[in-house]
């Protein structure tokens, strides 16, 4: 099951773009920065990769870290938004103070 694999309800809601459920879970004290133990992927990264703008906005409003990385490959939400060519998601993350020059040793590049 997803729960057995380490996926939290917040991660599941983020990956599906359910911003209303995200808001309810965060109100119930779900941690918006909790990373999946196996992939180190945060709910914000899942929302960004899925192209779920409203979910990403909700997570950022709940203090999700726009600079949280995941390990394989090392990436940030901003790098994922740039890679998916989503100008609106890039702008959202820049407005949330995403680092434009994160350390990405394994990829050897920066988002911009």
Contacts with 111 (C-beta within 8 Å, 6 or more apart), sequence order = 76, 78, 79, 81, 82, 90, 98, 100, 102
In sequence order, the β-bridge partners of residue 70 are: 75
- Quick check: 71 and 40 in contact, CB under 8 A? yes
Domain count, the chain: 1
Backbone region of residue 7 per phi and psi (left: phi > 0; alpha: psi in -120 to 50; beta: other values) = beta
Tens digit of pLDDT for each residue in 71-97?
A: 555 688 998 899 899 999 999 999 999
Asked if the structure places residue 112 within a domain, the reply is no
State the Cα–Cα distance between residues 74 and 55, nearest whole angstrom.
22
Poorest-confidence range of 55-64, 68-77, 96-105?
A: 68-77
Q: Please report, for the domain that includes residue 59, its CATH number.
A: 1.25.40.20
Asked if the structure places residue 66 within a domain, the reply is yes
pTM metric for this prediction: 0.88
Asked if the structure places residue 103 within a domain, the reply is no
Asked if the structure places residue 105 within a domain, the reply is no
Domain of residue 40, residue span: 9-95
């Amino acid at each position: 099951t997803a729960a057995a694999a380490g996926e939290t309800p917040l991660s599941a809601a983020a990956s599906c773009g359910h911003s209303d459920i995200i808001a309810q879970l965060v109100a119930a004290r779900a941690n918006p920065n909790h990373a999946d133990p196996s992939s180190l992927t945060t709910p914000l990264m899942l929302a960004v990769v899925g192209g779920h703008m409203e979910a990403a906005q909700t997570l950022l409003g709940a203090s999700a870290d726009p600079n949280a990385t995941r390990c394989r490959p090392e990436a940030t939400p901003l790098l994922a938004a740039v890679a998916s060519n989503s100008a609106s998601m890039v702008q959202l993350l820049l407005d949330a103070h995403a680092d434009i020059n994160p350390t990405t040793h394994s990829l050897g590049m920066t988002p911009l």
